[in-house]
Amino acid sequence: MAEVPRQVEELSADPEEMPDISIEGVFGLDEEILQQVVQMENASFPEGMKADQEDLKEILDNPNGFHFLIRDSGGKIVGYLASLRQTEEYEDLKKYDPLIENTPDSLYIESIAIEPSKQRDKIATHALQVLRAQAVASGYKKISMHARIKSGFSEMMQKKFGARQLRKLENWYDFGEPFDYLEMDLLKNKN
């Protein structure tokens, strides 16, 4: 797989589709950005599902994935997306999903959070298009994730991106709600 680019750059799948937001790669965090990501995490997820500041920093500082900040036209962070090579997450993931495979050509979406007052599906779709393009360009063959059912994220991934639901986990990661394990084949799915 290709080396993940390390410079900060604005990324886009189709800027005309979402002219009021920009997506930029996160390559090292300063304290101010980390605090904004923590705020986004706290606004987007219920108690017990929120990653703490240390976990977010560890994920977003990891060079073996793609991490994006999503900003509105005024430069305010309105979302983020974090992903890692699935092989890096495998040992932790298999504790909660014993059927997961250790797949070296798969990128795992660790988290995606969009400010609740924004057009979540539209912004998430745009960010995921950028992620897919970056993953394909880097030689990944799949994107995988454990997707919330209650929020509609799993259904959106299946409908808009052709992600396949391989199984439902009733209490994923002890979060107290069901998640679907999804895989998106990057070689077949070109939406």
- Mean pLDDT for all residues in the chain: 87
How far is it, in rounded angstroms, from Cα 179 to Cα 167?
A: 9
pLDDT in tens, 145-180: 999 999 999 999 999 999 999 999 999 999 999 999
pTM of the model: 0.88
Question: Does residue 190 have a pLDDT over 80?
Answer: no
Q: Say what the pLDDT of residue 137 is.
A: 94
Domain spans in the chain, listed from the N-terminal domain onward: 10-185
Distance from C-alpha of 160 to C-alpha of 127, rounded to nearest angstrom: 13
Closest CA to 42 of 140, 136, 113, 117: 113
**What are the tokens at 76?**
């305010």
Residue 184 has pLDDT above 70, yes or no: yes
Indicate if the pLDDT at residue 29 is higher than 60: yes
**106-114 and 142-148 as β-strands: parallel, antiparallel, unpaired?**
parallel
pLDDT of residue 27: 72
Crossing angle between the packed helical segments 31-44 and 53-61, to the nearest 10 degrees: 120
| pLDDT score of 11 | 54
Query: What was the pLDDT predicted at 142?
Result: 97
User: Is the pLDDT score of 109 beyond 90?
Assistant: yes
String of DSSP letters for the chain: -PPPP-S--EE-S-TTTSTTEEEEE--S--HHHHHHHHHHHHHHS-TTTPPPHHHHHHHHH-SSS-EEEEEETTS-EEEEEEEEEHHHHHHHHHHH-TT----TTEEEEEEEEE-TTS-HHHHHHHHHHHHHHHHHHTT--EEEEEEESTTSHHHHHHHHH--EEEEEETTGGG-SS-EEEEEEETTT---
Q: Say whether domain 10-185 belongs to CATH 3.90.1170.50.
A: no
- Does residue 4 surpass a pLDDT of 50? no
* Residue 153 buriedness (CB in 10 A; 0-12 / 13-18 / 19+): buried
- Looking at the chain, the whole-number percentage of residues with pLDDT higher than 70 is 88
- Could you give the CA distance from residue 126 to residue 15 in angstroms, rounded to a whole number? 9
The predicted-structure confidence for 38-83, as pLDDT tens digits, reads as follows 999 999 999 999 999 999 999 999 988 899 999 998 988 999 999 9
